[in-house]
A = this chain, B = another copy of it.
Amino acid sequence: MGRKTVAISLSDIAAMGGSPLFALCSVALPESACIRYARDLYRGMRDIAAEFRVDIVGGNVTSWKHPLSTCSTLIGEIPAKQPITRAGAKTGDAIMVTSELGGSVLGKHLRFTPRVKEALTLNKNYTIHSMIDISDGLTQDLAHLAEPGRLGFLLYEEAIPLSRDAKRLAKKTGRRALEHALSDGEDFELLFCVSRSEAKRILATWRLPTRISLIGEITRSGYRLRKPSGEIVTVEPKGYVHFRK
């Protein structure tokens, strides 16, 4: 959990093409927690902060009668060009994603690597129209890049990179691995839009070990998926719902 609370914010910085500098970490420890619990929690924070050369410069520590609550604030800078926002996708843009999706609940949600290096490389060397990290689920976060009424998307089913955990989880849930890749939250992969020509250039020149896939295109309206058969179906953005009322 210590690692995750910092990693989530690192991923947020990455999603804007930024470089993280400082972290502030706050924890409300359960009263029942022992000093070892607090140390282990801090170790998780410290290790991932060190991994990304981030200094933990502040925060707060308290205890309460309820479960652990953590909060991290990361301060970063934009070392190249401009920050990349969620706005900026255009009709005809290619939709790309890092690594593989789905089944994060089996463990990746705690152990994921924030895509800071990948995002900085993208921001420095390519023109990225818009970017987000997948926290709520692919289709739901894609809807943040293609706001209803303004834009739509078409995903290519066979191009969506399924993680091994999406397949493992599918065996347990009886759903398709694709469904997990489309709607599982907390993948913390980068989802971004670029022109078709820039997408080709990225695929041709990408040198980092993290795989990048072209998984669809931005359209004028509607959220759709093209099956391998060529059939096109509507998809309902699904994923983590923050508030039910």
Contact = CB atoms under 8 A, between A and B. Distances in A.
Interface stretch (A61-69, A78-86, A117-125): A61-69
A235 interface: no
A61 to B, nearest CB: 7
A245 B35 contact: yes
Interface residues of A, number: 19
A71 B34 contact: no
B60 A245 contact: no
Interface in A44-71: 58, 60-63, 66-67, 69, 71
B26 A71 contact: yes
Nearest to A69: B69
B63 A242 contact: yes
A28 interface: yes
A60 B136 CA distance: 14
A142 to B, nearest CB: 21
Nearest to A24: B73
A28 B70 CA distance: 10
Interface string A218-245: 0000000000000000000000001101
Contacts of A60: 71
Given A66-B67, A69-B69, A61 B242 contact: yes
A3 to B, nearest CB: 17
A63 B243 contact: yes
Given A58-B73, A63-B242, 8 more contacts: A26-B71, A35-B245, A60-B71, A61-B242, A63-B243, A66-B66, A66-B67, A69-B71
Interface of A: 24, 26, 28, 34-35, 58, 60-63, 66-67, 69, 71, 73, 75, 242-243, 245
Give me the 9 closest cross-chain CB pairs, A-B, nearest first. Answer: A71-B71, A73-B73, A69-B69, A66-B66, A26-B71, A24-B73, A66-B67, A63-B243, A28-B69
